[in-house]
Amino acid sequence: MNTIDILNKWAKFSKYEPNKNTWKAGSKQYELDKDNEVIATIMKYDSSSVSTCLYAKHIFKKHVSDKKFSILDILNNNYNISENVKEMWELFNSIEIIDFEKNLLEDINTNIDNISKNREIGDIKSEIDIEDIMDIYGTVIEDIDSCNYEVYNKGKNGEGNFVTNDLIYIFNSLKECILTIENSKDGIYLCFINNHETFNYFALVVKDGENIYSFNDRLDEKYPNQYMKKRLPGRDASRGKIFSLFPYDNEELFELGGVDYKGYSTNYKINNKNTMSIFQLGRNYYLPIVISMSIIKNAFVGKEIEGNITYLFNLAIKSSNNMLMEATKNQMAKSSVLNNYKDEIFEDFNTKGFLKGNYGYILKDYGRESQNTNQILIDLYSGNYQEDKINFHNKLSKNEILKVTEGELVGDQGKIKSIQYWLARRNLAEHIEKEMENELKKFGGTEGLNRWYRKKIKDNIDNLYKAIAEGKWIGEVSKMHDIWDMKWEKSNIMQLIDLSADSIDLHEMWHLRTVIGDSDERNNRYCPITGSKASIVAILRPQTWEDVAKLIGVDKDELPKLVKGWKYHQEYIGNSILDMIDPVEEIKHILMPRCENSFSFKIAIYLSKRGYAQICKKYNEDGNVNKFWINEN
């Protein structure tokens, strides 16, 4: 009976149901189902199904070891063992399976000898048995499966010797790592990418002839430098580092400083800047790595490589080694990995279409599709924007350092295009923000804007009185405010408040720049029409720049460039910390609330009730006065 037949028997014995999604927690079947999921994962990397069968045996032994018998049962040979259990035991202990176990154990121990080059690190063969391997085999397989599988180059398989060794190689970038491996012997290399004090990761990099690929636990950034963003913990941003496979918690290798909620180290400083042997770390660290190298070699080396090409672009390259940096200059020209990036992986943005946001769909699969909510700011401030900041792919394709961000761009063709668009739009956003600052300076800052706005309001005061009398901008009426217990009319732009109400919160009006109505030393306000003490205040709250045009009585196109595009509220476009969001959509108008140069276009017009009655009689056709302050309830 072959291994596939044995696994089919095991599936029936363990009542395996693929895609099962409901379990009885804590039951034996639940444990078996979870173990079978691991077995299914192992099969993805085990074409011979030998290792899968051996792991199934390991699970079977764990399952039957829970059975308990009394001494009396043993004396009476009364074990009540089912025929199914006996059959599985016989199958898992057949001569073929025993031979497979011996071969796997010998293979692992041979790999350890080859990797260690027979250095004195203990009596390996007597220390490691098949159960030691199987105890962690499932975890190692799951760790490999959860790694990023990235292919950097495809071609012919190697024909010479395939080497593995015990050293941990330290690089400051993935690009530097791959460039070095490309010029090394065929083999599997354990590398540590240390391109930032906190943004670092391990990679098992394989070179097999022209094929270069890796299994790494780099956290997938939605956009460049996402790792530098700080946010409240407790929300899932990405999976954590793989501690059970890679030696992140080993104090021989790292000065540990804790781990944040994303899985990024808060401080991982390499104790040893030079290469270091995994055998110096201890058996709990080297054995998973040795097993993983064996699994990867058997599953991938010498076979046709599948998967899309992952592209690498260094944006702030530093070398951990001056000699390597010199070698890098010569190697880059010869590198098949770095020269396989043709211009077609980038997008040639038509300048007009780019500025109109026609390429927003590019972000759809890697973030949030752009809705182009700030088009007016683009139209106003992109006039002298340089085209080479939109289509900078020529620099990227020639492997030049592009100082638009730190770190690396890593991803498939679609992601590189989305990052290209994101970076270009970020450049555009920075340009727009700078141009808005220049426009504000031309206006004399917020003080200059304040003088202009107050004059425009006073010039248009009669029209504002008329609007108050007619209730022109008043919307839904609310007779009583639940919180402040004041009588008012709620509106889209205008609100009338009775100052004689029992409890009024006038905090909002303390910060208004534009107030119509004189005040005394006690902060009492007086009606500009009658001169009497004010008992009513009309608050006009424009929400957009079009509303501002209404308040000063001009067409919106006549507004100064600085005011155009202003709005009180920013539309929600998504979480720019968690997703790749169009940077232009994140721009806040320079005068918006909570910005450094925020400006309030709110107006407070104080009136006495007699003054209010006068403007109602003057501007209302029927002369009626809306006595909104009377509580009709």
Are 471 and 410 members of one domain? no
The whole-angstrom separation of Cα 506 and Cα 462 is 25
Tell me the angle at which helices 283-300 and 130-146 cross, rounded to the nearest 10 degrees. 70
Q: Is residue 66 one of the residues assigned to a domain?
A: yes
Rounded to the nearest 10 degrees, how much is the dihedral formed by the CA atoms of 14, 19, 24, 30? 40
Whose tokens are 């030998």? That residue is: 50
Query: Which of these three, 73, 93, 113, is where a domain ends?
Result: 93
Q: Let me know whether 151 and 270 are in one domain.
A: yes
Looking at the structure, tell me whether residues 363 and 336 fall in a common domain: yes
For 569-625, what is each residue's pLDDT tens digit? Answer: 877 788 887 788 899 998 999 999 888 999 989 999 999 999 999 999 998 888 788
Tell me the residue range of the domain where 57 lies. Answer: 3-93
74 inside domain: yes
Please check whether residues 251 and 329 belong to one and the same domain.
Answer: no
> Same structural domain for residues 385 and 465?
no
Q: What is the pLDDT, as a whole number, of residue 77?
A: 58
Beta strand 536-540 pairing with 603-607: antiparallel
Phi-psi label, residue 383: left if phi above 0, alpha if psi -120 to 50, beta otherwise: alpha
Same domain, 253 and 385: no
In this predicted model, what pLDDT tens digit does every residue of 421-472 receive, in sequence order? Answer: 888 888 899 999 999 999 999 999 999 999 999 999 999 999 999 988 888 7
**207: pLDDT confidence band, cut at 50, 70 and 90?**
very high
The model's pTM:
0.75
Look at residues 392, 417, 442 and tell me which one is the last residue of a structural domain. Answer: 442
For residue 138, tell me if it sits in a domain: no
pLDDT at 148: 92
Residue 291 within a domain? no
Whether 279 and 171 map to the same domain: the answer is yes
Alpha-carbon distance 432 to 223, whole Å? 21
> Is the alpha carbon torsion for 60, 63, 65, 69 positive or negative?
negative
Assess whether 492 and 422 both reside in one domain.
no
On whether residue 120 sits in a domain, the answer given is: no
Q: Are residues 329 and 402 in the same domain?
A: yes
pLDDT tens-place string over residues 368-377: 788 778 899 9
Over range 301-319, report the average pLDDT.
72
Domain end residue (candidates: 377, 410, 442): 442
Please check whether residue 226 is in contact with residue 208, taking contact to mean a CB–CB distance below 8 angstroms: no
Residues 538 and 467 in one domain: yes
* Comparison of pLDDT for 627 and 134, the residue scoring more: 134
* Number of domains composing the chain: 4
* Burial grade of 395 (CB within 10 A; 0-12, 13-18, 19 or more): middle
Residue 118 domain-assigned (yes or no) = no
Mean pLDDT of 53-67: 84
Cβ density class 506-518: b for 16+ within 10 Å, e for less: eeebeeebbbbbe
Give domain status of residue 45, yes or no: yes
The reply to whether 438 and 364 lie within a common domain is yes
418 and 465 assigned to the same domain: no
Residue with tokens 């599988």: 149
More confident residue, 468 or 129: 468
Share of the chain above pLDDT 90, in %: 28
- Whether residue 21 lies inside any domain: the answer is yes
